[in-house]
Amino acid sequence: MSKKTNIREQRRVAKHERIRKRVAGTKERPRLCIHRSLKNFYAQLIDDTCGKVLCGMSTLSKEVAAKNGGNVEGAAALGKAFALMAKKKGVSKVCFDRGGYIYHGRIKAFADAVREGGLEF
């Protein structure tokens, strides 16, 4: 890992810590936490009051028909599938935790697809 990449990751983690001071999930409105890597995209619904993950999915899942999980199309496909799974679990409102990432590109595509799928945030 280069020095520049390490500094960027440290800044992202610091932003995420600031966000987490204000954003917390409950049973009625869980936290939708996301993580992106170079090749894949991951999402989880978390109830912070009891510290449990309600459900999770990634572009590696069988439900997501993404050839490449590291691009905008893969994130959008994950968003649609994730919204369907959350609806089956009885969740309609969430708190969006962008994980310190800039709301742009894959993050925005995922969020728009989740909103189209029926989740509210």
60-98 residue pLDDT tens? 998 887 788 889 999 999 999 999 999 999 999 999 999
Note the Cα 19 to chain centre separation in Å: 14
Does any domain span residue 88? yes
Side chain identity, residue 85: M
Give the domain extent around 64: 3-116
pLDDT one-digit tens code per residue, 7-56: 999 999 999 999 999 999 999 999 999 999 999 999 999 999 999 999 99
User: First CA to last CA across the chain, in angstroms?
Assistant: 35
The 3-state DSSP class for residue 98 equals coil
> Is residue 121 in some structural domain?
no
Q: What is the CATH number of the domain that holds 91?
A: 3.30.420.100
Task: Say how many domains are in the chain.
Answer: 1
Q: Output the six-digit token pair for 84.
A: 């369907």
CB 75 within 8 A of CB 83: no
